[in-house]
Structures are given as structure tokens and as C-alpha cells.
Amino acid sequence: MELLPVLDLLSTLVFGLVGARIAADKGLDYGGITFIAAVASVSGGTLRNVFLGLKPVWISDPWISVAVLSAVVITLVFRRVTRIGKTLLVMDTFGLAIATISGSYLAFQQQVPWLAAVILGVITAVTGGLLRDVLCQVEPVLLHRETIGTSSLMGAITFVSMYQLAFEVRISAVVGAAVVVITRIISIYFDLHLPKFNTGKKA
């Protein structure tokens, strides 16, 4: 089985699960949960494909829609609503890793420059979570913590570098994804984040 469809399907399911759970925690109805799950899981890949001049994958691959609906069904079946904790954080991190590699890999298949491949990997990974948080009226993690954007960037750079150096694509993908996960774990554990702009105003 080809690597790219598997990556897209896995990231869709994981981001769909996270999106559906956050929507459920916010008290949305079934339609709202489904909508948030769809936005969270396919918007990054859709934007990636639009930039590359390709048809969005959810249009051509019905399994993407199946993955979104599966995420919603799983969320509704296991309907216990609790505070978003470590489980969702782990799922979101793995989804971030998978989507980063998926975005960069597809970009390379379209023969774009290495920098564009890095950028498209990050866009694929972070867009869905950003829109999910905005729609659910949650402070977007991407905009006030570095762990998502920086982790994705480090993983994309690693994958692209190894791919350019002619490493086998699956090895490059595994190592790049591992860098995303490790970077985010370290930044969360040690509470690392990018400097914030100081407006000079006193509280």
C-alpha cells in the first residue's frame, strides 16, 4: 500500500477524534460535532492540495469521509465527557506528526522546492487544529504556545532533509514523525515556548 493515502487516512481519523471530542466537551449537538470533526481533519490537507493545484483528497477518496464519520461515531458511542487531558494531547501530537509528513511528502511528489515542502508540511499539520479551536471558541494553542508550530516545523525539516539526502522514504517519514513527537513532549514537559511580545503595559 502506498504511504501517502495511509498517512492521510490516519491523520484524518486522529484529528477527527480530537475535533469531535473537543466539540462534545463544548456541548455542541451532533451536527456541530460532525462539522468540527470534518473541519479539524480535512482542512489542512485541503489547503495543502489547493496550494499544489490538486483536487482535495476528500473529494476523490471516499475513505476520508468514512474516517471522519468513524471519528464522530466513536465519540458519540464513548460519550463520557471529561476535561481534555493527556489522551487527547497524545492523539493530537501523533496526528500532528502524521500530517506533517503527509504534507511534505505530497509536496515532494509534485516536485516543489524543499522550502515549499517544509511550509506545506506545517500548513497541513496545523490548519485543522487552528480552525477547530476558533470555531469551538477555545484559545488557539498555535497562537499562544510554540509546541505545535515548532514541533511540526522541526519534523518537516528533518523529513525534507533526509528525503533530499536520498534516505528511504519510510525511514525518513518515521524519523521526521518521531522528531515532531519528541519536540512537543520536551517542550510541554519543560514548559518551553517562544518569547511573547512585550507591550510594555503594566498589569
Model pLDDT, residue 135: 95
Mean pLDDT of 148-166: 95
In the 8-state DSSP scheme, what is residue 146? S
Across the chain, mean pLDDT equals 89
CB atoms within 10 A of CB 14: 24
Angle at 173 between CA 102 and CA 175, to 5 degrees: 135
Q: Taking residues 154-164, report their average pLDDT.
A: 97
The identity of residue 171, as a single letter, is I
pLDDT digits (tens, 9 = 90+) for 45-77: 999 999 999 999 999 899 999 999 999 999 998
pTM: 0.90
Please state the domain extents for the chain. 3-189
